Structure 1
Amino acid sequence: MSTLTDSVTPYRPRYWSLQLSGYLLILPALSFLLLFTHYPAVATLWQSLFSAARNHHPARFVGLENYRALLNDDIFLRSLQNNLLYAAITIPLAVALALLMALAVNRRLRGNGLVRAAFFLPSLLPMIAIANLWLFFYTPQLGLLNQLLAWFSLPAVNWLGDPATALGCLMVVSVWREAGFFMIFYLAALQQIDPRLAEAAAIEGASRRYFFRRVQWPLLMPTTLFVLINASMNAFRIVDQVIAMTSGGPDNSSSLLLFYIYRTAFSFWDRPAAAAMTGLLLLLLAAIALLKFRLLDKRAHYQ
């Protein structure tokens, strides 16, 4: 027994030395993560428990009063409803379009590189440039879309000035911008699939649709899970596009959650209320991520 103990003891200092070295290596990244991610989240949740300091009156602890006030805030409820609808439509459309584009360019065709670049280009443009481009399309009377309607003798539409179409116009821009970005992940995943699987399926007489449904789609499930999580976060953190195109109007029909948080904090200067909305937004994103992991992670086939 003593011999065994003597043989193990010299390795303990080396073990702790390796552990310390590992933590020192990740310390810079961990410091930035704590400083710019975890600390702001905790500070925001703490601020949501206080009232706003106004007219030389200091902030006071109010507990969950800011959260209860949100239930009576019609604009917040409208923004939340708009954001849930926005996410429910843009996420599946962007992911499906990205997958279709990846399947289309995952072939050895002439000019394939140019097609990939064209698909990916919208995701490289700054949102302000994209907003101004689409404002030209949506402009009443003179916009490209209304010009096309005029060719068919159809009346012009005020796309961004009509409550029935303003939110849908934002959805179109988001899908157009994000699909090319998600396509890159699907394309990389498709190219990692062993080509011998396709050869074996062709020998067995399997159609492309059957091969995709039985082989490619299950193998793409980890990528799909990753893309869905990122698409969900993007759907709830959009603000610059709303500011540039609609400013939440008309009649708050295109107001989204993060835009209303921004306006509450920096236009109305009610930062505790904005902090309460941010806390609910973090809770909502965590619930969506957990739900997707529970539903999809069991179906993922990791290579």
Structure 2
Amino acid sequence: MTLSTRHIHAYLLLLPAFIFLVGFTHYPAVGTLIDSLMSTPRAGREAVFVGVENYQVMREDPNFWKSLLNNLWFALVTIPVSIALSISMALWVNEKIAGRQFLRLSYFLPTVLPMIAVANIWIFFYTPGYGLINQVLGMLGFSSQNWLGDPQLALGSVIVVAIWKEAGFFMIFYLAALQTLSPNYQEAAQIEGASRWYFFRRIQWPLLMPTTIFVLVNALINAFRMVDHIIVMTKGGPDNATSLLLFYLYEVGFSFWDRGYASALTAVLLLILAVVGLLQFFLLDRRTHYR
């Protein structure tokens, strides 16, 4: 078999994946960018080119800036806390302790639950008066709180649900990475008298950086694509306190039927994800040790 024939076979094997990639990723992205420069078609009126008008509307839209700010706070809290919890859980269940399999299952269980089911479970927890959390607070002498109805508490309540859902998922990746590390590292550290914290900070953490980059990118995407919990739990309220960027995009596109403006919001969301993802990758790649 000649070299050119092998190349042809390789490209033919990649062709189905390439078609799906172009058809379901690149083509919709280019189409969305084009739609963001067009007006929304109405009955009897075709879409016309309006340039950057949709982006000018976005610049003056207070609901957009509110949703963007909420999303930034959401990401700044959920990403580091979820990663810290996932690493802690992975380190614990990686040790030879009693009930290790049960602990692994317990930590991973929230991940396999449907998002809608998770949201409804936490609605019960947060229910004013007779919800589980308020019942516990009442037993401890604290007053009942309207967790999802108070603008000061609603976003934090949704953040707790997101962390609870994601930490176990990220734990699986860290656990798999820890199990690939040679036990010789730990044995050498014990011989040298290194503490557990020193061993983690100087040995395990640098070797886990490839996994951390992967988890960071996924956590970032999850933080900006959160919409299921918001629709079920708060619908963006109260007073847009929990309106995240994708939820606002959903409202504009499917409640207000403003395709042009929704496309502009999508383009901005994709740009934010691309810029932050690239920054994470290039900044952390310098500190990453590949084996």
Q: TM range, normalised to the smaller chain?
A: over 0.9
What does 1:74-153 align with in structure 2 at a 5 Å threshold?
A: 74-153=62-141
Q: Distance in 2 between matches of 1:151 and 1:198?
A: 45
Residue aligning to 2:19: 31
Q: Does the alignment pair 1:45 with 2:33?
A: yes
Match of 1:232 among 220, 224, 227: 220
Deviation at 1:155, TM superposition (A): 1.7
* Greater C-alpha radius of gyration: 1
Q: Does the alignment pair 1:187 with 2:175?
A: yes
Aligned length: 291
Q: Distance in 2 between matches of 1:153 and 1:219?
A: 46
Deviation at 1:33, TM superposition (A): 0.9
TM (normalized to structure 1)? 0.95
Q: Does the alignment pair 1:171 with 2:159?
A: yes
Paired amino acid for 1:101: M
Residue aligning to 1:216: 204
Deviations 1:150-207 (A, max 9, x none): 1123221110000001100110000000000000000000011100111111111111
Deviations 1:213-260 (A, max 9, x none): 111010001101110000000000011110000000000000000000
Residue aligning to 1:261: 249
Match of 2:261 among 260, 273, 276: 273
Residue aligning to 1:249: 237
Residue aligning to 1:71: 59
Deviation at 1:55, TM superposition (A): 4.3
Deviation at 1:273, TM superposition (A): 0.3
Deviation at 1:54, TM superposition (A): 2.3
Paired amino acid for 1:26: L
Q: Distance in 1 between matches of 2:142 and 2:181?
A: 48
Q: Percent identity?
A: 58
Q: Does the alignment pair 1:300 with 2:269?
A: no
Deviation at 1:108, TM superposition (A): 1.5
SS at match of 1:137: helix
TM (normalized to structure 2)? 0.98
SS at match of 1:291: helix
Q: Distance in 1 between matches of 2:151 and 2:44?
A: 40
Gaps of at least 5 residues in structure 2 are none
Paired amino acid for 2:26: H
Deviation at 1:18, TM superposition (A): 1.1
Paired amino acid for 1:72: E
Give RMSD over aligned pairs: 0.9
Deviations 1:93-134 (A, max 9, x none): 000000000001011122101100000000000001000100
SS at match of 1:54: coil
Residue aligning to 1:287: 275
Paired amino acid for 2:250: Y
Q: Distance in 2 between matches of 1:35 and 1:28?
A: 10
Q: Distance in 1 between matches of 2:200 and 2:169?
A: 21
Residue aligning to 1:18: 6
Q: Distance in 1 between matches of 2:12 and 2:111?
A: 36
Q: Distance in 2 between matches of 1:282 and 1:97?
A: 28
